[in-house]
Amino acid sequence: ANLSVSSLFSTLMYCGEPEGLMEQEAQYLSLLGNVSSYRVEGDRLVLTDAEGTDLLFFVQAEEVPAAPLTGTEWTLESYRLSEDAVSSVIAGTTVTAGFAPDGNVAGSAGCNRYFAAYEVSGETMTIGPAGSTKMYCGEPEGTMEQEARYLTLLESVAGYRIDGDRLDLLDGAGKPLLSFRADQP
């Protein structure tokens, strides 16, 4: 069956660990751009170029059951910097969110503890202004800026989506503002 991949875009994060990861990513994206067909063999997907050379092999992932919004400790993985830029969380900082059934969300914003009220109706979500403790963290560099951005984005949330162990808090257009991963119990 025919398949073409065009207009490849990716986030602009840099990952120094493990060694060779950026080279692997560049090779993967290059191969993906040359795909012209695919075939499925059992639980394997094979992507092929125009000459029939097998380029990429995928194995079907085990389905991860959806984590519940409440009662799950969510750890931030990435956040929106601007309309078309996403940043990973600064190494050495941990940003978390815990949604309680009573309508309160609380966690660490990377330096300070924060708390806010939230409301959910269907797939819409609103989060009220957050209160927080007032510590200053100079290390790692950028922690306070990241924290300020996080707390601002929380107030912009208009919806949410859970896919397995991933939680995306969305803007009014349904685009991710904040992307979390469920902590494994």
Residue 161 one-letter amino acid = R
What is the DSSP-derived secondary structure letter of residue 104? Answer: E
- State yes or no: pLDDT of 132 exceeds 90: yes
In single-letter form, the type of residue at position 130 comes to A
- Per-residue pLDDT for 30 more than 90? no
Which residue has 């078309």 as its token pair? 84
Among the residues of the chain, which ranges form H helices? 21-33, 143-156
Residue 99, amino acid? F
State the maximum Cα–Cα separation within the chain, in Å, rounded to a whole number: 61
145-172: string of b/e by CB count within 10 Å (b at 16+)? ebbebbbebbeebbbbebeebbbbbbbe
Cβ atoms 106, 98 nearer than 8 A: yes
Q: Is 87 helix (H, G, I), strand (E, B) or coil?
A: strand
Cβ–Cβ under 8 Å, residues 52 and 145: no
Task: Please calculate the CA angle 47-51-54 and round it to the nearest 5 degrees.
Answer: 30
Tens digits of per-residue pLDDT, 7-18?
A: 777 666 677 778
**pTM metric for this prediction:** 0.71
Q: What percent of the chain has pLDDT over 70?
A: 96
pLDDT of residue 51: 94
